[in-house]
Chain A
Amino acid sequence: MWDYSEKVKDHFYNPRNVGVIEDPDGVGEVGSLACGDMLKLMFKLDDEGKIADVKFQTFGCGSAIASASALTEMIKGKTLEEVSRITNRDIAEYLGGLPEQKMHCSVMGREALEAAIANYRGEKVAAEEGEIVCECFGVTDKAIERAIKENGLTTVEQVTYYTKAGGGCGKCHDKIQGIIDRVIKDTGGGIWRVQPERKKMTNIQKMKLIEETIENEIAPALRKEGGDIELIDVVEDKVIVALRGKCTQCLLSGWTVQNFVQAKLREFVSAEIVVEEAKE
């Protein structure tokens, strides 16, 4: 039996915002009967562009229903700009966690939301592009790549838990491994040291953690080489730093910022951190 959190149970037993909006501004539909789960999400905006009403219908297991219900609660009253930043991890965290094998339910929530926003804006959904890797569940390389990056996945099994890809006949396992290897290579592996279950931080907490990480994990190594680093600013996930001392003359300073400073901050703070050098 799955070990569902109390919050998952609550949202499953008493799903919020079930139903249909007659003339929605955006509708997103993902999954299919054949895949075993399907989610239809629709919203209506108010005059200020905030989500005034949101409804869903779903065919799926307990965690699929709970994820959809939680998502509607999370996005109500927010602007599309705000909700477009919601990741599948946010949904899972909102629910007090999901069993890893069920993470694909949170991914389905995020995908439905994206599809609904794209529908409103008259755009194509990113996940629909790309090449189908898993034919059993119709999952594209783009969707797999994104789940790997957003959740720090390292094994084919995990990719299956998060996207369903590879959960059928198993023929695509080599291809999935290939995507994992490529993403690890492209990103220098920094995101894989992130603890996926890390708690959400407030901005103040995040800034403090960035400061501490620079002071304890990054600066000492640079100082040893006669260089130094100064934190200039933090704008959401963008961290602006300035290299000092010998670092300023170093031809490899760009490499240092990307592969050392950014990797450390991703490891200790958040996988989403992007580090930039201050332009002075």
Chain B
Amino acid sequence: MRRVYADNNATTRVDDRVIEEMLPLFNRIYGNPSSMHTFGAEAEKKMRQARERVAEFIKADPSEIVFTGCGTESDNTALFGTLEAYPDKKHIITTKVEHPAVLNPCQLLAKKGYSVTFLSVDSEGMLDLDELRDSIRDDTAIVSVMYANNETGVIFPVEEIVEIVKERGVVLHVDAVQAAGKTPLDVRKLNVDLLSLSGHKIHAPKGVGALYIRRGTKLRPVLVGGHQEKGRRGGTENLPSIVGFGKACELAAEHLPEMNSRVRAMRDRLQEGLLRAIPDAYVNGEESPRVPNTLSIRFEYVEGESILLLLDREGIAASSGSACTSGSLEPSHVLRAMGIPYTSVHGSIRLSLSRFNTDEEIDYILEKFPPIISKLREISPFAQAAPIPKKA
């Protein structure tokens, strides 16, 4: 059976060139980078190169890159590390549409006595910058916002956010996990304090991430142990994955133009094709700037898990804003924050592409998708209650 992977915001295929670069780290260059012998020195050299590659990818200095175990660890370190460094400041600002790696720590901190402002978004997933400006207080310790949303692909106006936040001298953390490799990142120009990255979203293996910490930013370590990462993150480094991450960053920069041309064209064709073939379908965040690989589309009268199961039967991998797919009963907090009615939140599907997708695959999705929605609408009591207008 044909298999089409269109769930690249969940995770990505590791690039063969990344694997190749990693392999010697398992059985030849296996020293501990901290060790005082040649084995250690060889490993250290590899790690330095990886750090330089990651730094180059976001235009940082290598000394400003701390390797972590995942994007979630980067986000948690940014939040908890900043709050530890500013014990007198008890206010946090974030948004309602953050990834759980930011949202859940913030909710936990709210329970522990911190005051947390969750900024709202409009129906297109966009922030109200005046609300941000008005929310900043003298005791605001950190503002944490995402660069691009994992579900809708909507890009926040980070440059304007920086301007507002820096004017008040507050620490700014940007979760750029879903922006990396899809839009150019330049921390110098952006002037953010902290920025999270994750390896497995850009064709590196799972289990490695990075936190950019602008020189001079006060941050307490969260993982306390050995002196690795200059005392900023204890624990022996996951060297093979770090090396893979370095290579993946280099490749992501190389493929960025392709992402914004060929991949974007595939996404746009997918979007137009589905909208044309399926009535009562809408794109989430259509009016906002979006990363080029992501399509979040909602279908009235049907439920997401059913769609995913039928897509999977055709070999197509996607994801959904539906509650049923996650094991929780609450559907996507992102789509709900956008004020999208419950009904169509349940019927929202995310298709996310990568450079490994092809035009033939888009044709295949466009062929298989519409009959699935028709089939489910035949079963649905709502489709009959509200007759589907036939589009020309």
**Residue on A with the closest CB to B330?**
A168
Given known pairs A57-B379, A58-B379, A61-B324, the reply for A36 and B329 (CB within 8 Å) is yes
The A interface is mostly helix, strand or loop, or mixed, namely: mixed
CA–CA, A128 and B309, complex, Å:
32
Cβ of B379 and Cβ of A18 under 8 Å apart?
yes
B170: CB under 8 A from chain A?
Answer: no
B3: CB under 8 A from chain A?
Answer: no
Cβ of A61 and Cβ of B381 under 8 Å apart?
no
A264: CB under 8 A from chain B?
Answer: no
Cβ of B309 and Cβ of A33 under 8 Å apart?
no
A37: CB under 8 A from chain B?
Answer: yes
Given known pairs A40-B381, A61-B306, A61-B322, the reply for A33 and B329 (CB within 8 Å) is no
Which of B313, B323, B380, B384 meets A36, CB within 8 Å? B323
- Shortest CB-to-CB span from A133 to chain B, Å, is 15
Given known pairs A33-B343, A61-B322, A62-B306, the reply for A167 and B329 (CB within 8 Å) is yes
Cβ of B305 and Cβ of A62 under 8 Å apart?
yes
CA–CA, A137 and B346, complex, Å:
15
- Shortest CB-to-CB span from B375 to chain A, Å, is 9
In the complex, what residues of A have CB within 8 A of residue B309's CB? 12, 61-62
- Shortest CB-to-CB span from B217 to chain A, Å, is 36
B331: CB under 8 A from chain A?
Answer: yes
In the complex, what residues of B have CB within 8 A of residue A137's CB? 329
Interface string of B269-313 (1 = CB under 8 A from A): 000000000000000000000000000000001111110011011
A60: CB under 8 A from chain B?
Answer: yes
Cβ of A59 and Cβ of B303 under 8 Å apart?
yes
CA–CA, A77 and B328, complex, Å:
37
CA–CA, A20 and B306, complex, Å:
21
Interface string of B143-162 (1 = CB under 8 A from A): 00000000000000000000
- Shortest CB-to-CB span from B10 to chain A, Å, is 12
Cβ of A18 and Cβ of B305 under 8 Å apart?
no
Cβ of A13 and Cβ of B313 under 8 Å apart?
yes
In the complex, what residues of A have CB within 8 A of residue B30's CB? none
Interface string of A156-196 (1 = CB under 8 A from B): 00001000100110000000000000000000000000000
- Shortest CB-to-CB span from B265 to chain A, Å, is 31
CA–CA, A102 and B312, complex, Å:
19
Which of B301, B302, B312, B346 has the largest number of chain A CB atoms within 10 A?
B346
Which of B306, B378, B384 meets A12, CB within 8 Å? B306
Given known pairs A36-B303, A57-B384, A168-B329, the reply for A18 and B378 (CB within 8 Å) is yes
In the complex, what residues of B have CB within 8 A of residue A15's CB? 379
CA–CA, A1 and B311, complex, Å:
13
Which of A20, A59, A164, A168 meets B382, CB within 8 Å? A59
- Shortest CB-to-CB span from A28 to chain B, Å, is 12
- Shortest CB-to-CB span from B345 to chain A, Å, is 9
- Shortest CB-to-CB span from A226 to chain B, Å, is 55
In the complex, what residues of A have CB within 8 A of residue B329's CB? 36, 137, 160, 164, 167-168
Given known pairs A62-B306, A167-B328, the reply for A57 and B322 (CB within 8 Å) is no
Cβ of B322 and Cβ of A36 under 8 Å apart?
yes
A214: CB under 8 A from chain B?
Answer: no
B342: CB under 8 A from chain A?
Answer: yes
Interface string of A6-48 (1 = CB under 8 A from B): 0000001101001010000000010001101110100000000
CA–CA, A61 and B303, complex, Å:
6
B327: CB under 8 A from chain A?
Answer: yes
A65: CB under 8 A from chain B?
Answer: yes
Cβ of A58 and Cβ of B380 under 8 Å apart?
yes
- Shortest CB-to-CB span from A11 to chain B, Å, is 12
Which of A34, A40, A59, A62 has the largest number of chain B CB atoms within 10 A?
A59
CA–CA, A167 and B324, complex, Å:
11
CA–CA, A167 and B328, complex, Å:
7
In the complex, what residues of B have CB within 8 A of residue A60's CB? 303, 306, 324
In the complex, what residues of A have CB within 8 A of residue B325's CB? 61
- Shortest CB-to-CB span from A6 to chain B, Å, is 13
- Shortest CB-to-CB span from A4 to chain B, Å, is 8
Which of B310, B322, B324, B378 has the largest number of chain A CB atoms within 10 A?
B324
Interface residues of B in 368-384 (CB under 8 A from A): 378-382, 384
A101: CB under 8 A from chain B?
Answer: yes
**Residue on B with the closest CB to A40?**
B381
Given known pairs A59-B301, A62-B305, the reply for A36 and B331 (CB within 8 Å) is yes
Cβ of B380 and Cβ of A57 under 8 Å apart?
yes
CA–CA, A65 and B330, complex, Å:
19
CA–CA, A37 and B322, complex, Å:
11
CA–CA, A59 and B342, complex, Å:
13
- Shortest CB-to-CB span from B209 to chain A, Å, is 25
Given contacts A36-B303, A61-B306, A137-B329, list 18 more A-B pairs with CB under 8 A: A12-B306, A18-B379, A34-B343, A36-B322, A36-B331, A36-B346, A57-B384, A58-B380, A58-B381, A59-B302, A59-B382, A60-B324, A61-B305, A62-B309, A102-B324, A164-B329, A167-B330, A168-B329
9 residue pairs from A and B, CB less than 8 Å apart: A13-B310, A34-B342, A34-B343, A36-B346, A37-B303, A61-B304, A62-B305, A101-B327, A167-B328
- Residues on B lying within 8 angstroms of A by beta carbon are 301-306, 309-310, 312-313, 322-325, 327-331, 342-343, 346, 378-382, 384
9 shortest interchain CB distances as A-B pairs: A167-B329, A61-B305, A61-B324, A57-B381, A33-B343, A34-B342, A40-B381, A62-B309, A59-B380
